[in-house]
Structure 1
């Protein structure tokens, strides 16, 4: 069965990314054709990149890198839930992405972002990164506004139309993940 990881891309105390990711997971698990799993960066104590060799050399040395690599390798695609910090994604998410290389290759990725302008600029940066990692980013995305999809900028209350955007994004991630399976040797 196709497996999709839903990555919570923030580790900040009081983060709103966790309720957003749980919403993504609840909507996603209504599907019976795919297995979804929440992946919280807080569960993977990744320091600032501390591997001696570049990830493309596939010579991971650190136990935390090996654990992270095993988790990411277990998926066929991803939905990344990202905040927008200073017109980009979070440093924690970028660091987690940078730890690995081949584990990301030939998989699909979709984005659910949040911020004052829906996290659009964070996703723009992540799309550039995805290309380098041979991740196929899908066109559809969910852009959540802190002004209209959150109460007091902190309590997540998505507008009804966001569910449709999420289902479209999930459809695309699943379809592309399956289409890329031959490239992953599955």
Structure 2
């Protein structure tokens, strides 16, 4: 594997969300790293209903077309970056639902966390998701990106203007995710 596939998953589905600008910035930083094939996955576009499969995801006996498509999307990734706001001291329900739809497809893959919000920078979102990720046998990168006061970093046209510190944090996280992707590859169950 020369270039692992990195999926940047935009977790917020709310109208007026700020995550699109953050995900675009992450995509730009990841392209500069030149170590990934990059896909952006927007949970608002995926549109998964609330858990409607009759069987446990561990069995991979999917009956719904949206679940089969979601499985195929996640299966082709080697690593992830979750771009997520903080909602009520936790991560978005749409992300929890998307995670719970699958099991095997997530296992033995690294994930970098990019949280954003107001003064708290979405830190409680990142803390809340880690037990869920480890239960799915994912490997959260120790390096993470926390963006405080995200609204102050957005230009009038909605583009994120990250400073050198945020760029450096993103690059460090992506380096770790890339290293983990290569190390974890032999552990993955073939699709």
TM-score by length of 1: 0.94
Q: Does 1:120 align with 2:123?
A: yes
Q: Does 1:184 align with 2:173?
A: no
Aligned counterpart for 2:32 among listed residues 30, 39, 49: 30
Where 1:29 maps in the other structure, the secondary structure is helix
TM-score by length of 2: 0.91
Q: Per-residue displacement from partner, 1:109-152 (whole Å, max 9, x unpaired)?
A: 01000012011111111111110000000101100012685359
Where 2:6 maps in the other structure, the secondary structure is strand
| CA RMSD between the two structures | 1.8
Where 2:131 maps in the other structure, the secondary structure is helix
The unaligned stretches of length 5 or more in structure 1 are none
Aligned counterpart for 1:150 among listed residues 134, 150, 153: 153
Q: CA deviation at 1:157?
A: 3.0
Match of 2:110 in 1: 108
Q: Which has the higher strand share?
A: 1
Match of 1:131 in 2: 134
Q: CA deviation at 1:158?
A: 2.5
Alpha-carbon spacing, 1:16–1:157, altered in 2? closer, same or farther (3 Å): same
Q: Matches of 2:183 and 2:150 in 1, distance apart? A: 37
The unaligned stretches of length 5 or more in structure 2 are none
Structure 1 stretches of 4+ with a deviation exceeding 4 A read none
How many residues are paired up? 185
